[in-house]
């Protein structure tokens, strides 16, 4: 009676088709698959046919071959998708580029403006230069000593002595009891040319604004008729803001 030789147990690295349980685990480690559940989903026959087929059977070989083909295709498809997703995540969006570009432009403009004001400063007025006339009985009111930018020449009139940007301020109070024929009008003038005119006699109005004057200009406030305004509530003044001459 012949003795049957003992069957040799095959190791998973000898032949992947001999021991499906350990062999599949070995293939999973070699192919760096994320989880065994992905293999099960990609190859449904892994649980059923491959785990319980007899070694050496044709069904076992076909199942193992199908498993290898499915795993290879799945691995090749997943790698490019993951790589492209990583590139998409690392690539900055157009909104980020727009934000960075805006910040850089603003910083450049601020730096350019700072350089302009650093190398081309303005000459500011030396001390306050201000004058005011009215309301009556007060007339011209000036600091002591008198300012060097203007010179009073008459009531409600003065002469500019220094080039610069001036601020004129004032108030005109109409006399509602006036019954004369002359239409109501108050003018602020430069060299006898009106730069502002008021024609509403129903309310108190403000007069003035910022103007650039030159040495020799004559500024005055005149009325169309002497009694059209309440001079005890009417006044005007002038203030030198700055001398816009660049340093040479």
pLDDT tens-digit map of 124-172: 445 678 999 999 999 999 887 777 899 999 999 999 999 999 999 999 9
User: What is the pLDDT at residue 243?
Assistant: 76
CA–CA gap between residue 64 and residue 131 (Å, rounded)? 106
pLDDT tens-digit map of 37-75: 454 554 444 444 444 444 444 444 445 555 555 555 555
CATH topology of domain 125-246: Jelly Rolls (2.60.120)
Query: What does each C-alpha distance from 191 to 28, 145, 162, 223 come to in angstroms?
Result: 99, 26, 15, 16
Most confident range, picked from 3-12, 45-54, 175-184: 175-184
Q: Which residues contact 99 (CB under 8 A, 6 or more apart)?
A: none
pLDDT-based confidence at 16, cuts 50/70/90?
Answer: very low
Q: Six-digit token pair at 25?
A: 């685990």
User: What is the pLDDT at residue 41?
Assistant: 52
Preceding omega of 135 cis (within 30 degrees of 0): yes
User: What is the pLDDT at residue 75?
Assistant: 52
18 and 10 Cβ atoms separated by less than 8 Å: yes
pLDDT tens-digit map of 196-232: 999 999 999 999 999 999 999 999 999 999 899 999 9
pLDDT tens-digit map of 234-248: 999 999 998 765 434
Stronger pLDDT, 74 or 180, i.e. the higher one:
180
Taking Cα atoms as reference points, which of 223, 149, 147, 154 lies closest to residue 184? 223
Asked if pLDDT for residue 31 goes beyond 70, the answer is no
Q: Backbone phi, then psi, for 220, in 5-degree steps?
A: -150, 165
Asked if pLDDT for residue 30 goes beyond 60, the answer is no
């Amino acid at each position: 009676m012949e003795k049957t030789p003992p069957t040799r147990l095959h190791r998973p690295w000898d032949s992947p088709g001999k021991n499906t349980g350990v062999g599949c685990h070995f293939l999973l480690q070699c192919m760096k698959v994320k989880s065994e559940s992905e293999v099960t989903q990609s190859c449904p026959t892994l649980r059923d046919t491959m785990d319980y087929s007899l070694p050496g059977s044709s069904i076992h070989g076909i199942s193992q071959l199908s498993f290898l083909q499915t795993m290879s295709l799945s691995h090749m498809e997943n790698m490019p998708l993951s790589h492209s997703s990583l590139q998409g995540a690392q690539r900055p969006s157009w909104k980020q580029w727009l934000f960075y570009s805006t910040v850089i432009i603003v910083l450049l403009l601020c730096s350019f403006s700072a350089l302009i004001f650093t190398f081309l400063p303005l000459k500011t007025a030396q001390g306050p230069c201000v004058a005011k006339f009215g309301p009556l009985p007060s007339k011209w009111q000036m600091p002591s000593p008198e300012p060097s930018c203007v010179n009073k020449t008459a009531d409600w009139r003065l002469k500019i002595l220094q080039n610069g940007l001036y601020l004129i301020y004032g108030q005109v109070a109409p006399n509602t009891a006036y019954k004369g024929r002359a239409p109501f009008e108050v003018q602020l003038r430069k060299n006898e040319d009106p730069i502002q005119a008021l024609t509403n006699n129903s309310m108190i109005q403000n007069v003035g604004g910022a103007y650039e004057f030159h040495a020799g200009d004559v500024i005055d406030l005149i009325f169309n008729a002497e009694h059209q305004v309440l001079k005890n509530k009417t006044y005007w003044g002038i203030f030198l803001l700055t001398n816009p001459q660049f340093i040479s």
